Every structure is written in C-alpha cells, then in structure tokens.
Structure 1
Amino acid sequence: MRVITQKTVGEPSVLEVAEVPTPVAGPGQVLVRVVAAGVNPLDTYIRAGGFPALGEPPFTLGWDVAGTVVEDAEGFVAGDEVYGLLDFPGTGGGYAEHAVVPAANLVRRPSWLTPEQAGAVPMVALTAWQSLVGRGGLSAGQRVLIHAAAGGVGHVAVQIAKARGAYVIGTASAGKHDFLRSLGVDEVIDYRHQDFTGIEPVDVVLDTIGGDYAERSARVLKPGGVLVSIIPGNPGFDVDRASALGIRFELFLSVTASGADLAALPQLRVEIDHTVPLAAAAKAHELVSSGRTTGKVVLVP
C-alpha cells in the first residue's frame, strides 16, 4: 500500500510517497481501508520537528481516519463504514491507504457525516468535547467564549456548545462571521478591530491561540469561571495566576481516542476547506500552515 513518510523533519517537502506492506490487525484491532484522513495543525508541528511525538524519523503522520472495515473483527464486519482516532501520540499512520485501528477507538459513521467529513472530525471533535465539556464542564445557560471559532477545533466547539444550550461568543476575522452565524454563534468579534475583553463576563473560555490571549481571556471570566487552554508548551497562563484571580485554569494537554465519546457527539456540520490527494500531502500541510483555512483539510486516496 502507499503511505506518506518522511525521513527527516523540516518543510512540507520532506513528505514523500512510499510503498509498504499492508498492515495486519492484531487482537483488539480492526483493519480499515482509509478513504479520508484529516490533516491537523499538530501534524505540521510534528513534521517540522516542533513536537517530537513520534520520535526520530522515519515515520508516517496522521491520526484522523475514516474508511471501510476490510475484514470481520471485534464486533465490526467487512464493509462497515467507520471513523475514529488512532491512539495519540502512538505511532501515527493515518496518512496511508490502510490503517490498523484499536476497535475501542472506532464508531460506525453516522449518515450525517460524509466520508470526508468523518475523516476530518475525530481529533478536533474529541479535543472540543473533552476540553469544553470534560474539563470546562460547560452546561446549559452558561456563556462561553471560543477563540479562533472558525478554525478546525473552534467550529466544532461552537456546535457542541450550542447543542448543550450555551450562549456562544466567537472570535474570528470579519470574513468568517457569516459562517459562524450560520453555526449559531450568538456574538461574533473581529479580533483584528475589536477588543474581546469588552464583552459581558463569561463562564468558560476555550483558548485555542495562546500567548497573551490567556491573560486577556482571564479578564472576561466570572468569579469561579474556567479558562481551558489547548496550547501545549507555554500556554501563557498557569494555575497560580488563575488562583490569584479567583478562576480555574485547565490545560488540556492531550486528546484521548474514544469511540464512546465520538458516539456521544451531537450532529455536527463539519466544514471541509480542501480535499487533497494523498500523494500531495505536502500541499495539504502548506494549506494548514497558512492559517487561512476555514474548517479542515483532508487527504483522500
């Protein structure tokens, strides 16, 4: 089968096509013919050497997969259309024509997701769900501020928050405001020209940007509110600072692969910005790194 591999870290051009044996599923695993594989910003950091999740090259990136079960295994039958997240960080391997996936990580694809959307959604949806609901405890009637609300994680977090009955405020450039309104965002803020610290206090902030956004976001939280950051490394905030301000700080360090959590998601609209052939993975990385995409970039065979 074909995979995308890299022999060194660096620019997108280090990604290349290789031929390797098709993997064999072991106990607790399912062999999936991949029809779509999501490309996440995290993938670009690992490719460039900014986050050594997979150790030294060579390795194959990719954790989001959607496809068809190849042979009966672990309660799934050949032909089942499924999607899920490979163990993270694990060994990667989603940028390939076939992938071996732990059965507990998989769920059958619902009719409201196309194969491409299913391939795009696992990491962002699980990140949004586990950070916003699991760590943030978001519930009906609360006010939530979501930064980069039109991005991969952001646009899914918006929908999860709305489905849970929250009032949602999102930051994004002006050109993405109509998109966010179509998802149900109650207030949109053009971060280039508006200071979000002027909003009415909120119960939860989801920080997908980092830097000074964390400190500024703390100013808009109600006493006892929670700031959830998904920024690895230095999120620009810590629990001591949060305690001094009378709020709670949650650093969401790593997503957990979970078919059960995927099954618990509300019906989502998953925005696909670009669909790119597997062999053009370098182009996909360029698109993601540009910061100008709305929604997700997906690789297809």
Structure 2
Amino acid sequence: MGEKMRAVDIKGGTGPATSLFISDAIPKPTAGTGQAVVKIKAFGLNRMDLLQREGMYPVPPQGGKILGVEFSGHIESLGDGVKEGFKIGDAVFGLAYGGAYAEYIAVSTHMLLHKPEHLSWEEAAGIPEVWITATQAMYPVGEFTKGKSILWHAGASSVSIAGIQLSKAAGASAIYVTAGSQEKIDFCVKELGATAGFNYKTQDWAKEILKATNGQGVDLVIDFVGQSYFQGNLDVAARDGHIVNLGFMSGTKLPAGVDIGAFIRKRLRYEGSSLRSRDPDYQGRLRDKLEEYMPQFQDGTFKVYVEKVMPWEKVVEAHQLMETNATKGKIICTIS
C-alpha cells in the first residue's frame, strides 16, 4: 500500500458543514509529469467549496473529491518536465483543480508562484482563486479598458475585494458596489476606494446606480447573484454594456415578467464564465498575469484581506462562518 496522508473528507460523500471531518486514510499524491507535490501550510475557502460539499458543483474530472483550489506551502518533490525555476524546498502558493484541503497536493508547476517573503502563508493562500477570478472577469471575459465604469456585486466578497482594487489600479472612471450592510459599504468605499455603494436590503440599488450615473448606467457589471439581480443588471448596464455572471446565489429560474428588451435597445452582452472548468493553458495565462501583480502586493497597492484564520481542525466552523455571508475577505485554514 502507498503512503497515506490526512485530508478533509465528507461523511456520506456530500452533506452539510457538520459532515466534514479529517481522515487519516487518504492516499498521498505523487508528482506526475510537470507536477510538484506541495506540503500545504494553509488553504483558502471559497463558495464553490460549499456547493461541492453539498454535491451541487460540477467538479472537473481532474478535480477529485477533496475540496479546495488554493493553497500555500513548500515543494516536497518534483516530477519530470516541470516549469523552470522551481526546486524542492521552495515556498510557493498556487491554484489547483481540487485537493487543497489536505496535507499534500500534486499540482502543475505552471500554476505555482514563488511566495514573496512579505506575504504570510495565510495571505498567500488567499490570493490565487480570487485574484485570478477577478482578473478573468474583468479582462478576457469583460474586456475592461481604462476609463470604463464597473459594478461589483457582493462588494465585500473576496473576489470583489480583489476586483475593486484591480479596477482602481486600472483607471476605472467609477467603481460601484452592492452589499448587505452599511459596514460592508463603508469598507468598500473608505478602505478599498470604491466610488459609491448601495445596500441591496434597504435600497433599490438599480435605481440608485442609475441616479448616480445620470441615467447612463455602468459599462461592466460583475454578478454572482443571478436570478434576483437579472432585471436590475439589465436596467443598470450602459449602452454596449457587458454583464459577466459568475454565480447563482439567488437561483437560476427567472420569474415571469422579466423584460429583456435592453439586450437590443442597449446592445448588451450577458456572458457567463467560470475558472475551474478552464483548460490548463487558459489558467496558466491568468497565473502569469497574477505574477505581474506581485510588485503591487509588495508596495501596498494591492492588499489581501483575511477575515479569519482557523486551524483546519475547525473546518466545520470555517464552513459555517462562510455560510453566514457576514465576512469581509478570506477565511483561511492552516495545517500544523
């Protein structure tokens, strides 16, 4: 029998947060061609983990059953044909198709980055998924260019926190957000530099954004909510606007009476996208873009916002915390 390792498993294969447990009987991965085995120090939680745990996420074939796509740690071993510049012992962080809730992960070296000394293990583990997702939504999908305006829904979510910072650095003419509390809106505006924010619980955010833009709307909308925001997104999109949908937190079935006239009247594009289903070459190009950001993490232009760090023995509580939708930034688990 091969070596075993500890990893987070799910009782019954799928279930609520309380079904998570740490198993010590998971086969330890070995490095294939082009891969490194990384001994994980920390991993980041993402909303897709909650969906996958409940059997509601289309996991790509190479993803496996172990949750988690972003991590930091040391390279323990290398396979043949790996990317130049990596050696055993290197401190790295990266993105995987799955398997990060574990002591060890086998991952393509093309999806690894060297961890800068100024970033903690916890900060590094919270970068790959969210910053690459935000980059993908803005650029290859959303076709953002300097001077465009942008709306980030779920403004205090990790992806939007990254997106607001990217938008500001890239010269957006205005950055709007929606969020569910004044505290989150103040964070997005005062801490991150968004232009204005709107409370979806107490305001008609679509009407308020149209008012703020003198009826012009916004050029690019990044949405994670789906059904309940569909009409509002059509209403606030500017002429020739682009709506990028990354999730369906409110569901996928539209109610009767939705008016799609804006598609033609305003020449809109509504485009869905995901990162995890993309091929390695596509993900690799985004990884290279992330590497270009490293100096901005060092000079303080970009910041990693970590809401809470928990030992992985508390992974149940970590998932339950994410389910509250009360956090601002990443939830990170550490492995000792």
Q: TM-score, normalised on structure 2?
A: 0.81
Letter in 2 for 1:299: C
Aligned partners of 1:170 and 1:189 also within 8 Å: yes
Letter in 2 for 1:2: R
Give the deviation of 1:283 after TM superposition. 1.2
SS in 2 for 1:219: helix
Gaps of at least 5 residues in structure 1 are none
Whether 1:234 and 2:252 are equivalent positions in the alignment is yes
SS in 2 for 1:270: coil
Cα offsets for 1:140-164 (capped at 9, x unmatched): 1111111111111111111111111
Aligned to 2:183: 175
Aligned to 2:196: 187
Aligned partners of 2:38 and 2:75 also within 8 Å: yes
Between 58-67 and 180-189, report the one with greater CA deviation: 58-67
Letter in 2 for 1:203: D
Percent identity of equivalent pairs: 30
Aligned partners of 2:41 and 2:73 also within 8 Å: yes
| Residue 222 of structure 1, aligned match among 235, 238, 263 | 238
CA distance in 1, matches of 2:236, 2:312: 43
Aligned to 1:115: 121
| Residue 203 of structure 1, aligned match among 191, 208, 219 | 219
Whether 1:35 and 2:45 are equivalent positions in the alignment is no
- Count of residues in Structure 1 that have an aligned counterpart in Structure 2: 294
Select the structure of larger CA radius of gyration.
2
Q: TM-score, normalised on structure 1?
A: 0.90
Whether 1:13 and 2:18 are equivalent positions in the alignment is yes
Aligned partners of 1:30 and 1:69 also within 8 Å: yes
CA distance in 1, matches of 2:148, 2:162: 17
Cα offsets for 1:15-72 (capped at 9, x unmatched): 11111343211110011111111111110011012224268xx931111111111235
Q: Which has the higher contact order (CA 8 A, sep 6+)?
A: 1
Give the deviation of 1:110 after TM superposition. 3.2
Mapping for residues 142-153 of structure 1, pairs under 5 Å? 142-153=148-159
CA distance in 1, matches of 2:289, 2:65: 28
CA distance in 2, matches of 1:116, 1:269: 13
Give the deviation of 1:191 after TM superposition. 2.0
Whether 1:82 and 2:118 are equivalent positions in the alignment is no
Give the 4+ runs in structure 1 shifted more than 6 A. Answer: none
Aligned to 1:277: 311
Whether 1:67 and 2:73 are equivalent positions in the alignment is yes
Aligned to 1:251: 272
- Change in Cα spacing, 1:125 to 1:235, as seen in structure 2 (3 Å) is farther
CA RMSD of aligned residues (A): 2.3
- Change in Cα spacing, 1:229 to 1:119, as seen in structure 2 (3 Å) is same
Cα offsets for 1:83-142 (capped at 9, x unmatched): 11103xxxx211011111111111112345321111112111111110122111112111
Letter in 2 for 1:175: E
- Change in Cα spacing, 1:52 to 1:137, as seen in structure 2 (3 Å) is closer
Aligned partners of 2:31 and 2:77 also within 8 Å: no
Letter in 1 for 2:14: V
CA distance in 2, matches of 1:252, 1:242: 21
SS in 1 for 2:309: strand
Whether 1:262 and 2:290 are equivalent positions in the alignment is yes
CA distance in 2, matches of 1:236, 1:106: 40
Letter in 1 for 2:234: A
CA distance in 2, matches of 1:206, 1:84: 24
Give the deviation of 1:195 after TM superposition. 2.0
Aligned partners of 2:234 and 2:263 also within 8 Å: no
| Residue 47 of structure 1, aligned match among 29, 44, 53 | 53
CA distance in 2, matches of 1:49, 1:130: 25
Aligned partners of 1:124 and 1:152 also within 8 Å: yes
Aligned partners of 1:242 and 1:249 also within 8 Å: no
SS in 2 for 1:161: helix
